[in-house]
Structure 1
């Protein structure tokens, strides 16, 4: 190489060092300028970790959560996006399911509230739907039982005369500290609720849905990225994603759209009924937002995917709502 080439290389290196010196000086002057608190970019402030240490027995009780989950979205103004519809939501007694039920009602839909055995929570959801001026029906049962799925769809048709939106949302989640701790019984329960339950509900509902109808499933970030302690749960959520993509293609000629909302950490009874009290106190702090979502922050995505006014050209898609990616 000639002297001119060497001189240019030396000049570029000097330039790089000058840029570095400038940034180093700014770092020393500012210290750690990154805000340490959780991100608050919503319509109202949301709770952030650390939360009170707490643990619940399954399936969890929303009324016992501290702080109480925010689900009623008082800032949301309905505009008839689901006017005259009837929706069936599993796991609708609490958490995301309750928030979805409230917003569906605010958009003009009657709602069927399916739950396992959380009677008090389900009645609160029913009252919230009725406060929006819509009809509500509460059904107690196990989604892994095909007979319950058939009965729930029949009850919906009997009560409201139609079924426009199905939201398979009920889930079972329980971590294992070691792979050897994942028993067949545990694995079977997870698949029965999370996969068989989704199949049973769609199998029963689809024959009664008309053009313009929608299925909006609840997936999970664990189905996208995996989770070392939720082996079976992550498997089922990945399966739900694949099922929705396939079913969306299959039902497209009938005008029925199928999509998935895949949340990250959300402040609902599901996780305090799984994690130990210490982990619950820091729940959601690992996200870019540095806090878990509140149910009312997730529910608008279900309205979007359920409404033919808003998402008529969307099917077989997965919408992650994970609070930002926290990787490097």
Structure 2
């Protein structure tokens, strides 16, 4: 059971999974940092909801692939609260929806570079403080597509597979400092930037193929993220947690 407030940074928190995660963590008594790149109005609405419910929220703009932005983001959080306890890296970088036959190297390498650059920058930025305090939670949003391919999603799936491996290496290295690093890997999630790009017919097919007969919802993912942010998961690290209604059973 969670007993102390934690300061939680959620990247890409203006909508979808990120917004649901900010609200869920705040409801559990944590302070939340609502990060966005260019969605100030939506991010402020999330923060307003948190404050209206009695929580503490701060909106900070920043591009997760920009080193200066990420340094400023973490510095802003530390200036406000004196620490950062939890990183939830949710922000999605752009990717093409295409077959391998039509995928050129520039498209694939751009997605790989952005995905890993963001994860590397954020992890480098938050770890020193966590190591000093000997406490921290690193949570990264991936996708079931890193293990179960789907037509057109090769760039996203390959980039997230690289992220999955990155997290395992980080988890092994930081574990002696009482810091955990875990991956949350949802299937297609309703009301997100990715699902909005899919035709309604395909979304229905994906729901029908899921044993629980529906797509994931942002709140489903948020609750799993909140578990890894708390003390109940203190001895769980390097894990890959599917949130997919039984679509993939590793």
Shorter-chain TM-score above 0.5: yes
Once the 2 structures are TM-superposed, how far is the Cα of residue 261 of structure 1 from its aligned partner? 0.6
Q: Distance in 1 between matches of 2:248 and 2:8?
A: 35
Match of 1:103 among 20, 24, 28: 24
> Are 2:171 and 1:252 equivalent residues in the alignment?
no
Greater Cα radius of gyration, structure 1 or 2 = 1
Instruction: State the alpha-carbon separation in 2 of the partners of residues 315 and 82 from structure 1.
Output: 20
The corresponding residue for 1:292 is 215
1:302 to 215, 225, 235: 225
Deviation at 1:150? 0.9
4+ residue runs over 4 A deviation: 280-283
Among candidates 217, 238, 241, match of residue 319 of structure 1: 241
Q: Work out the CA distance in 2 between the residues paired with 1:317 and 1:163.
A: 22
Task: Tell me whether 1:127 sits opposite 2:32 in the alignment.
Answer: no
Q: Distance in 1 between matches of 2:44 and 2:185?
A: 26
Contact 2:98 / 2:154 at 8 angstroms: preserved in 1?
A: no
Answer 1 or 2: which has greater helix percent: 2
Matched residue, 1:212 = 135
256-265 or 184-193, which moves further after superposition?
184-193
RMSD: 2.1
Instruction: Specify the SS of the correspondent of 1:265.
Output: coil
2:40, 2:210 → 1: CA distance? 33
Q: 2:159 aligns with which of 210, 233, 236?
A: 236
Deviates more, 1:131-140 or 1:103-112: 131-140
Relative to its length, the structure with more strand (as a share) is: 2
Cα distance in 1 between the residues matched to 2:98 and 2:175: 41
What TM-score, normalized by structure 2, do the two folds share? 0.90
Matches within 5 A, 1:81-120: 81=2, 83-120=4-41
CA displacement at 1:280 relative to structure 2? 4.6
Instruction: Look up the SS of the partner of 1:194 in the other structure.
Output: helix
TM-score if structure 1 supplies the norm length?
Answer: 0.70
Q: 1:262 to 1:184 in 2, by over 3 A?
A: same
Change (3 A) 1:200 1:82: farther
C-alpha spacing 1:86/1:131, structure 2 compared with 1 (3 Å): same
Equivalent residue of 1:324, what SS? coil
Query: Is the counterpart of residue 147 in structure 1 residue 43 in structure 2?
Result: no
Per the alignment, in what secondary structure is the counterpart of residue 198 of structure 2? coil
Map of 1:52 onto structure 2: none
Deviation at 1:97, TM superposition (A): 0.8
What do residues 165-217 of structure 1 show as CA deviations (whole Å, max 9, x unaligned)?
00111113545343243244533442243221111111111111132310011
1:287·1:322 contact (CA, 8 Å) conserved in 2?
yes
Q: How many Å separate the matches in 1 of 2:116 and 2:3?
A: 27
Deviation at 1:230, TM superposition (A): 1.0
Unpaired runs of at least 5, structure 1 = 1-78
State the Cα distance separating 1:138 from its structure 2 match. 1.1
* Aligned-residue offset at 1:124: 1.7
Residue 254 of structure 1: CA displacement?
Answer: 0.9
Q: 1:275 aligns with which of 198, 211, 224?
A: 198
Distance in 2 separating the partners of 1:106 and 1:284:
29
**Does 297-306 or 281-290 show the bigger shift?**
281-290
With over 3 angstroms needed to count, the CA separation of the structure-2 counterparts of 1:326 and 1:259, relative to structure 1, is: closer
Structure 1 residues 127 and 82: alpha-carbon distance in aligned structure 2, compared to 1, 3 A threshold: farther
Q: 1:198 to 1:123 in 2, by over 3 A?
A: same
